[in-house]
Structures are given as structure tokens and as C-alpha cells.
Amino acid sequence: MPSGSIDEGSADPPKAAPVDATPVPAEGGRQDPARKGVPFDGLTEDWRLVGSIDLEGRLLDILNRREAIPIGDMTWSTLDALEDLQPAPGLQKVDPYDLIVVLAGDRTLPALDDAEKAALRVHKVPYDVVVEVPPYRVVGTVFLYPGSEPERLMDRSSDLFFPVTNAVVLAAGARLGDGEVDVVLVNRSYLRGVEQVDEFVLASARERPRVPPAS
């Protein structure tokens, strides 16, 4: 597992933190003021981290800077009890290298008008895929330039994370997250396989039961 660091705080802090996904406006686009208290939900090899982050721009871009990310109001759980979140007040920063996937919703993205949203996917081709990032599996859609096959996501890249849209995260056969999360940011460092699939596989993944709250 890539090495990373977490600010000292709790006696036994998690190894990773959450992020946010989705394409971003081109350079030189409209500048948005920082959005306060944006939800933050990330998964590492051992932990689920949920809290808030102040964002200016896209979370995807912030993750790809490969710098520690300040977080607040953090709670965390083990993978055995993902819904049983406990306070983690000592956790103040997360290293992007420790994150395997980050679940993202609309609030993690800057405000875009319809023209800007369309421009993000210009000249790109959608592929429905299953992405293997053990212990997780991400099912959704990636947008690639013509001539690029989904398997090329396995190649080395300057970007640490890439977005999967209309996405579902599966762990031990159950679905994580909620209906508002439809973009997942995936860390290439943990990528072990990419398979192109049909729409039936996506629909089946969305019908999986959610991880139930711990009793």
C-alpha cells in the first residue's frame, strides 16, 4: 500500500481519507468561492472516513495535487461496520495516497451551467466498466478520448485519481453510499483490473442492497 501520513491526533487513527469525484471545468474557467462544509466520504484499505471539507474548485483536482487535505468534523468506522461511524476529532488531515475511492455528490463540484457541463465531455466516449480496487469494486461509466480503451486506465498517468460517473461502490457484495452519490474518484495506485461491461451489469449493481447499519 502506498505510504502516506495522517496528522497526529487520535491514538489509533485511520490510514486514509475521502475525496470527491467528477470532471472539472477547463483552466481559466469561472472561479468559484470556497464552499464551506462540503460532505467528505472516503474509503481506505481498512477504514471509512466521513466528515467535511472546504472546497474551492473540484475535489478531483485537489486530490490530484497529491498534498495532505485538511478535513473537519471527522467520523470513522472499520470495514466490518461501515455504517457504525464514531467521532475522530484528532484526525485533521488525510493523505490522498491512502485513499482508494472517494464517494462524491453534487455538492463536491463547483456550480456549472449547462454549456460548461456539456464542454466537460466534449470529444469523449462513454464506456461502462467494472473497476477492481480491492477490497472494493466500482461499477459505472468512464469518459475517454476516442481511440482510448478502458484498459488504458491501467497505464501510468500524471493524475493519481480518475472519475467514474453513474457509479456504485461494492464491498463484500453490498452497495455503499446513497442515491445522491453518483460519482466515485478512484486511486490508480490501487487499480488491479478494468473490464468493459454492458448496461445490465450496471443496473444489477444498482439493485444490490445497501450495507445495513450496524446493530
DSSP characters over the chain: -------S-SSS--S---B-----PPTT-PPPPPEEEEEEEEE-SSEEEEEEEEESS-HHHHHHTT--EE-EEEEEEEGGGTT--EE-TT--EE-GGG-SEEEE-GGGS----HHHHHHHTTT-EEEEEEEEETTEEEEEEEEE-TT--GGGGGS--S-SEEEEEEEEEEETTEEES-TT--EEEEEGGG--EEEE--HHHHHHHHTSPBPPPP-
pLDDT at 99 over 80: yes
Distance CA 69, CA 147 (A): 34
Q: What percent of the chain has pLDDT over 70?
A: 69
Q: How confident is the model at residue 23 (pLDDT cuts 50, 70, 90)?
A: very low
pLDDT at 197 over 80: yes
- What is the overall mean pLDDT for the chain? 76
User: DSSP 3-state assignment of 39?
Assistant: strand
Q: How confident is the model at residue 81 (pLDDT cuts 50, 70, 90)?
A: confident
- The pLDDT tens digits of the residues spanning 122-172 come to 678 899 999 999 999 999 999 888 888 999 999 888 999 999 988 889 887
In this prediction, residue 159 carries a pLDDT of: 92
> Are 98 and 160 within 8 A, CB to CB?
no
In this prediction, residue 68 carries a pLDDT of: 93
In this prediction, residue 38 carries a pLDDT of: 83
Counting other chains too, the contacts that 142-146 makes at CB distance below 8 Å and 24 or more residues apart are 143/23
